[in-house]
Every structure is written in C-alpha cells, then in structure tokens.
Amino acid sequence: MKSVLAIDLGATSGRAVSYYIVEGTLFSEEILRFENVPIKERGVLAWDIHLLFSNILQAIQLASEKGELLSLGIDTWGVDFALIDGEGQLVAASAHYRDKRTKGVLEEVSQCSSLTDLYFKTGNQLMEINTLFQLIRTRTKNPDSFFLAKNLLMIPDYLNYLLTGQKAIERSIASTMQLVNPYTQTWSQDILEMFEIPETLLPELVQEGNILGELSSKYKLGNPKVINVCEHDTASAIAAIPVEDDKTLFISSGTWSLIGTELNTPIINERTLNYNFTNEAGHSGTTTFLKNCTGLWIVEELRREFEHLGQPFDFDTIAKLVAEVDRPTAIIDTDSPEFAEPDQMIEKLKEYAQKTKQPIPESPGELFKVAYTSLASKYKEVIGQLEEILAERFEKIHVIGGGSKSTYFSQLIADTTGKTVVTGLSEATSVGNALIQLVALGELTSIQEGRQLVRQTFDCKQYYPQKNKEMGDDKLS
C-alpha cells in the first residue's frame, strides 16, 4: 500500500494520519496522536520543539512499517518561529504566542509608525502575537538571540529543515507573519526597511506543493519526499472543504476560531481594518479572508481546571450538563484579553458576569454554557461583519475542525446565526494536507479533483436553524 503522511500539529496536540486512495475513495489511518505541551525556558513560555520532532520521526517510522510511504507534509498553527544560527542550531527556544512578552507591543509600535499603514501594507489582522511583533520584542528583550540568528524559519519550516537540511518558508504560513505583501505574496520590502529587519534573515518563499527534498538518510527511515503543504493549518483545512459554489463560508473551530471565506484577491480597506479582518495566502493562489477569534480555548481551559479539581468531564457529559441548564446565562466577549491567558478561567467567567451585571454562572453546566453560547454569539457577530464587507449573504456554514464533532455546538451555531450548518470534516486539516501532497505527486490533478474525492468519501450532517426541523445526513454535495 502506497500512502502519504499528513502531520498536523495543533496548539495542544499533534496527530499523524496516513492517507491513500482506493477506487475513488480516500482512506485514512491514524498513525500517532500526542500532546503538545509548552515548556518554560529562561522565563519564556516556549514550544518543546525537540519533543515534537521526536514524535514526527516516530510517526514516519510507524507509517513506513505499514507500507510504502511516498511523502509527508507538516502543517501547524501560525505566527511562531525558530531562529537558527549559521550551523542550523536554535539560538533560543521557540517562544509560544501566549507568552506575555508581546503584551503592549502594538501601543509601542504605534508610537513610531502607523498601525493603519502597517495593515494596508500587509492586509494582516493586527494582533500582538503576529511574527513581526514577536520579532521586535525578541530584538529588544533578547538581542543576543536576534543578532546571532542567520535565518528565521516558521515552525513547520524548521521541522522540514531538520528532516531535509533544506530551508524555505511556504506562502500560507508566511502570510501570518505581517511581513508579506498580500498582492504579490512576496516579502514586503517596505516592512523590512521600516522595522530594520535584514532580508537575509528570511529564506526563499515557496508555493504549496513544492517538493522540498527527501528525508535525510541519517534517520534510516527510507526516502519519502518532504512536501511543503499549506503549512498554516487553516489553509490546509480550507483546501479540503468540498464547496458547491464560489460562496463558501467556513468556521474552523478549534482552540482558535477562524471565520471567513475564499477570495481571488485580497480586500484591504477602512472597513476591513476597523473590523480587523485578515488576508492570508490560500491554496492555488487564492486569498483566505477571515477573522481570527478565540475558540474552544475557553472550554478547554474549563475542562482542565475542573479536572484539577477532581471533576473530569468528557464532551458528551458537558453537552448533557449544558442541556440541563434552563436559566439565562451570561454572554461574554470571548476575545476580551483576560480570557486569552491560561488559568483561573472559572473565576474569570464569574468576574466578567458580575462586572457586566449578568447572571453569575455557578455550576459546571452553567460555566460551559456561558462559553459555548458566547462563542456562537461571536460567530454571529463576525459573520454579520463579513456579509457587510462583501455585500453578500451566506445561507450555509461549513464548520470544520474539532468543534464540528459536537452535535450540541453545531445546532447552537445554526440556531444563533440562522444559517444551515454543515459538518463532517472534523479532521479537515490533515485531509487538506494530504490532498496537497497527492496533487504534488501527480496522484490528483488539482485541489478541485481532491475536493470531489472528499465529497465522494465523507458523510456530512446538516443542522438547520429551526429546531423543529430534522437534521439530515447526506454525502457531501
């Protein structure tokens, strides 16, 4: 059996999934799943890159034992990076976007340059975690690391470098950096000059589907090709959505929620700036126009906190607890800064409700319901902004990612937004990752053919906004 290996690294866990095609159907097998737990190094919250890489090597070995492994591709979250010296060694740990070192950086940058100008040059949502701002803080707080660095590689590109010895940055992950011209999808010379970032720090930009090289022989794991997939996990996930027409509204629901659509060209104007929408590179030269919001992070933090209190809850139990709550619950702004940081989420929700004179959640069911209903409310708000910008109305939402597994949450999104919700691709990111590899290898002619394959393979469920309607199960169509 010949297969490709999709390695999908999320902010809390990683997975490696093997994919292969048999008689017009896409088959998959999970090879390995592992936790992605940050570490503290020299006072900085950082990624345990070496542990991640050891898991990747283990996944390659396990996949190779099952048959001929043709290729592999790695996708991850955006914005975070590795700085390496002339010998290819890390000059410092790769910082986690939730590390506090970038707090207040937007205000600091605004003192010497226009944030509006920065948005218009990059089309990127202005967020303190963006690579540019992390790099600025690295230079001021850890100048030794900054000036020792010969190259910057985004996380998946650094892992690819460890596998092959080849340096490149793929365009979709680069487009999360606030360093790329959104129209040419090349490094923005204006931004590099404005912030005195040497161009030599940044390697070549490559398109998705680029065959970077073969796995180094030193690992003695064969010679599968290493392919630059859409390395930003959102871009890979969107590549898998089996759209029926050009009007695609998606919510990628995971630790983060990304709400948007596919466009042929970026949209950058005063309204998109005010609503803080971002333009990122997608597959086949498309632009992914979206807004990045807090996602199931709050639910995950509540679960973690309750587990520490001796009350572990799985998602089925949470859904039952939430369904039993019959009194009004508070609605929070899920993007309020206090919810972005870990720990004490129970107390933060209660304090927010008290401060805004809303019912204070007490029971686990009430706390989880606050998180879910507030998130659905945020989706409705952002979709309204998107429809206003595009002067279009969407009737259907493709919900992908882990959040789509929840029947309760999917129905809540439909009821709150008044739109039909389509689910069925909870592992959309690894599917899209695999499709890009299969196109690069010539096993598929295009992403469009890949989406047709997805339509033929996966069952979907539709949730209608009227609760008295039955939910339908169909092939994706």
Q: Are residues 313 and 198 in the same domain?
A: no
277 and 139 co-located in one domain: no
Could you tell me if residue 440 is inside a domain?
Answer: no
Beta bridge partners of 423: 461
- Same structural domain for residues 180 and 253? no
Partners of 35 in beta bridges: 13
Residue 434, in any domain of the structure? no
Give residue 256's pLDDT. 87
CB 240 within 8 A of CB 225: no
Provide the annotated active-site residues: 233
Nearby residues of 460 by Cβ (< 8 Å), 6 or more positions away: 422, 423, 424, 425, 473, 474, 475, 476
216 and 274 both lie in a single domain: no
What pLDDT sits at residue 1? Answer: 83
For residue 227, give the 3-state DSSP assignment: strand
Helix spans in 165-284 (H): 171-174, 189-194, 233-240, 270-275
Q: Residue 423 and residue 219: Cα distance in Å, rounded?
A: 39
Q: Which domain holds residue 193?
A: 2-233
Length of the chain: 477
Instruction: Tell me which of 233, 266, 300 is where a domain ends.
Output: 233
**Residue 226 and residue 275 share a domain:** no
CA dihedral 253, 255, 259, 263 (to 10 degrees): -100
Same domain, 18 and 46: yes
Residue 466: per-residue pLDDT? 78
Strands 68-75 and 225-228: parallel
Q: What is the mean pLDDT of each run of 10 residues along the chain (477 residues)?
A: 95 95 96 96 95 98 97 98 97 95 94 94 95 96 94 98 98 98 96 95 98 98 98 96 80 92 96 96 95 92 96 93 93 93 93 96 97 96 97 94 92 96 94 98 96 93 74 41
Q: Which CA distances in Å does 219 have to 5, 50, 215?
A: 17, 15, 8
Q: What is the DSSP letter of 469?
A: S
Instruction: Find out whether 251 and 413 touch, Cβ atoms under 8 Å.
Output: yes
What type of residue sits at position 351?
A: E
d(CA 311, CA 294) in angstroms, rounded, equals 24
The answer to whether residues 192 and 251 belong to one domain is: no
Instruction: Of 54, 39, 42, 48, give the one whose Cα is nearest residue 7.
Output: 54
The torsion angles phi and psi of 370, rounded to 5 degrees, stand at -55, -45
Pairing between β-strand 250-253 and β-strand 396-400 as defined by DSSP bridges: parallel
Instruction: Specify if 298 maps to a domain.
Output: yes
Q: CA-to-CA distance for 357 and 394, rounded, in angstroms?
A: 34
Between β-strands 459-463 and 420-423, what pairing exists: parallel, antiparallel or unpaired? antiparallel
Closest by Cα among 106, 127, 103, 75 to 294: 127
In a domain, residue 437? The reply is no
Same domain, 223 and 252: no
List for the chain the helix, strand, coil content (%; round to 5).
40, 25, 35
Is residue 453, in this structure, part of any structural domain at all? yes
The whole-angstrom distance between residue 369's C-alpha and the CA centroid of its chain comes to: 24
Could you tell me where the DSSP H helices lie in 165-240?
171-174, 189-194, 233-240
Same domain for 69 and 155, yes or no, is: yes
- 28, part of any domain: yes
Q: How far apart are CA 96 and CA 98, in angstroms?
A: 5
If asked whether residues 210 and 276 sit together in one domain, one would say no
Q: Do 129 and 199 lie in a common domain?
A: yes
How many domains, the chain?
2
Assess if residue 436 is contained within a domain.
Answer: no
Contact 406/261 with Cβ under 8 angstroms? Answer: no
> Is 431 within a domain?
no
Instruction: Please report the DSSP string for 175-234 in residue order.
Output: TTTT-EETTTTEE-HHHHHHTT--GGGS--EE-TTEEEEE--GGG-S---EEEE---BHH
How far is 125 from 341, CA to CA, in rounded Å? Answer: 19
**What CATH number has the domain bearing residue 291?**
3.30.420.40
Do both 140 and 264 map to the same domain? no
